[in-house]
Amino acid sequence: MSDLLIKCLSYSQAVRIYVANTKDIINEIGDRLNYFPSALAAMGRVLTVGAMIGSTLKGNESVTVKVEGNGPIGLIMVDANPKGEVRAYSQNPHCHFENPDTHKLDVRNTVGNRGFISVIKDLKLKEPFIGTVPIISGEIAEDFAYYFNISEQIPSAVSLGVLVDEDSRAIHAGGFMVQLLPNASEEVIEKLEEKIKQLPPMSKLLSQGNTIEQIAKLIGDETTTIIETLPLEFKCSCSKERFARGILSLGAEEIKQMIEEDKEARTICHFCGNEYYFPQNELNTILESASKKRK
């Protein structure tokens, strides 16, 4: 089974519900960059909410979600789009914390409880839309609910769960995001709040064997209908040409020095771990373009 996201309308079209499972993508990234367990859980939660935000966009739009906490994982960054393509980066995937009493993964200590989250939407306009709020919890779901309520002024609830085994592989992973539409009545709000309050955490819902459709029905009422099903996939937009442009932008002096000292260059994409190799003759070609540019 591969990762999927569903979008639903419920409460007579007054509430939008997004539910996703993201286990395969999280494991692919975890394997590529050798994530430790609590770092995998932290990145996985950000990736899941990022994928859901990406699915709210249209056409060629895209989103970058950044969590910059004061914990050892450092910056966590996720790129997503409405085609369901997602990738993630963590500054330090090799950190791990667990609660000494419960032995549960400690995401808050991995991410930190101070810092900022930002949502940068490229809506193909002149300027991107950027929303930033302080981190209020470090558990990610609460932080993004706060972001939607404060920055986008959309009353929202977010739940995220990544269950990781001892070999640092996700066994279950996913999340939901619930947003009130402007026509939601007080009665609907009360009913929905009550339902969400009664729901077990996301990781429990998944480990109990619930599908994303079943989870949507648990959140919604009898009018719940799926309006879109979106397959999610790990996709990195890096390429050798992009890295070549990166080297070019260093300027002739620096490229010359690189050739003299190392005779070659190896660049690694921090999103997918792919390595790109530039032998001396290719660096010479880049140097030529850089020298021409300067003139």
Q: Are strands 85-90 and 265-268 parallel, antiparallel or unpaired?
A: unpaired
Do residues 104 and 73 lie in contact, with contact meaning Cβ atoms separated by under 8 Å? no
Do residues 95 and 82 lie in contact, with contact meaning Cβ atoms separated by under 8 Å? no
Do residues 232 and 84 lie in contact, with contact meaning Cβ atoms separated by under 8 Å? yes
Please say which residue, 19 or 29, places its beta carbon nearer to Zn ion: 29
Please say which residue, 64 or 159, places its beta carbon nearer to Zn ion: 64
Helix (H), strand (E) counts: the chain: 10, 13
Do residues 38 and 98 lie in contact, with contact meaning Cβ atoms separated by under 8 Å? yes
Please say which residue, 35 or 271, places its beta carbon nearer to Zn ion: 271
Q: How far is the CB of 143 from Zn ion (least distance, A)?
A: 26
Q: How far is the CB of 273 from Zn ion (least distance, A)?
A: 7
Please say which residue, 131 or 273, places its beta carbon nearer to Zn ion: 273
Q: How far is the CB of 292 from Zn ion (least distance, A)?
A: 28
Do residues 172 and 206 lie in contact, with contact meaning Cβ atoms separated by under 8 Å? yes
Q: Which residues would be at the binding site for Zn ion (CB under 5 A)?
A: 236, 238, 269, 271-272
Angle formed at CA 137 by CA 106 and CA 40, multiple of 5 degrees: 35
Q: How far is the CB of 270 from Zn ion (least distance, A)?
A: 8
Q: How far is the CB of 239 from Zn ion (least distance, A)?
A: 8
Please say which residue, 84 or 115, places its beta carbon nearer to Zn ion: 84
Cα(19)–Cα(27) distance, integer angstroms: 19
